[in-house]
Structure 1
Amino acid sequence: MEANQNSKSLYERLGGHKGIEAIVDDIVELHMSNPAVKARFLPLKDDPQHFAEVRQHLINFLAAGSGGPEEYAGKDMTTAHKGMNISQGEYMNAVDDIMKALDKHNIDEQTKKDVLFIAYSLKGSMVHV
């Protein structure tokens, strides 16, 4: 890893706003084709306005959470996932999709570990809430 990589924020290492936007688009596409979670995401295609809102929330959530200037104005994770009864398997499949998207964008191993750490820190507010 380059020495200056340590001084970059997670946001910068993910490619800033444009990089995060592309990563989120790939994550959503992976979710929509993943048999374990697609039933939760495919209905978004039937409501383009809601899809656009969810997409923007995902971008802002990842950008703000990684040190970017964007503001996340959506619900907290517990409220957003309340009543969805997300299983451990669904959660792991969603995380796998995130890792695949990061790989597609040639994100370095340390940055992937940092994203994985954040994903696991949010698990308790998403699984079976």
Structure 2
Amino acid sequence: MTDSAARGLSRVTLYERLGGGAGLRTLVDGIVAAHLENPTIQHRFTPYLDRPDRVEEIKRHTCAYFSEGSGGPDTYRGRSMTEAHRGMLVTDAEYTAAADDIIGTLARHGHDAETRAEVRDILEAIRGEIVGV
């Protein structure tokens, strides 16, 4: 590989590696589906099944959050992670289950170990903003 090719690869953002806006939406749809099947956390999501407008809103916010955090063009305009989860008292086990769903969805969509590790690092960085608040 030439030096210029190597430099080009280093500029590929996580957002681009995740497939841009369409890729993020596909991932978010898969993540929500995984959460609904995960016995550790499905109780957090099943109440929304009869509110498709609310599910869509959550998905839009999640896509924007992932976009902004991964180098994409969208700006997340929702509440902070702490405010969005305040009062939910998410346990460490629930957070781990949700993170595992996210990483598993990435794997099912063919994202490599490096990309999954980068996303895992991001998830671990915000764990304290969500667990127990």
What SS does the aligned partner of 2:77 have?
coil
Instruction: Give the CA deviation at 1:42.
Output: 1.0
Give the match for residue 44 of structure 1.
48
The ranges of structure 1 where at least 4 consecutive aligned residues each deviate by more than 4 angstroms after the TM superposition are none
Deviations 1:34-78 (A, max 9, x none): 000000011111111111111110111111110110111111000
Give the match for residue 127 of structure 1.
131
* TM superposition score normalised by structure 1: 0.95
Instruction: Give the CA deviation at 1:5.
Output: 3.6
* TM superposition score normalised by structure 2: 0.92
Does residue 1:22 correspond to 2:26, yes or no?
yes
1:5-84 correspondence runs (5 A):
5-84=9-88
Structure of greater Rg = 2
Does residue 1:112 correspond to 2:116, yes or no?
yes
Residue identity in the other structure for 2:24:
I
Residue identity in the other structure for 2:131:
V
CA distance in 1, matches of 2:9, 2:40: 35
Instruction: Give the CA deviation at 1:7.
Output: 2.2
- Structure 2, unaligned runs of 5 or more: none
CA distance in 2, matches of 1:13, 1:5: 10
Deviations 1:67-111 (A, max 9, x none): 110111111000001110111100110011001100011111111
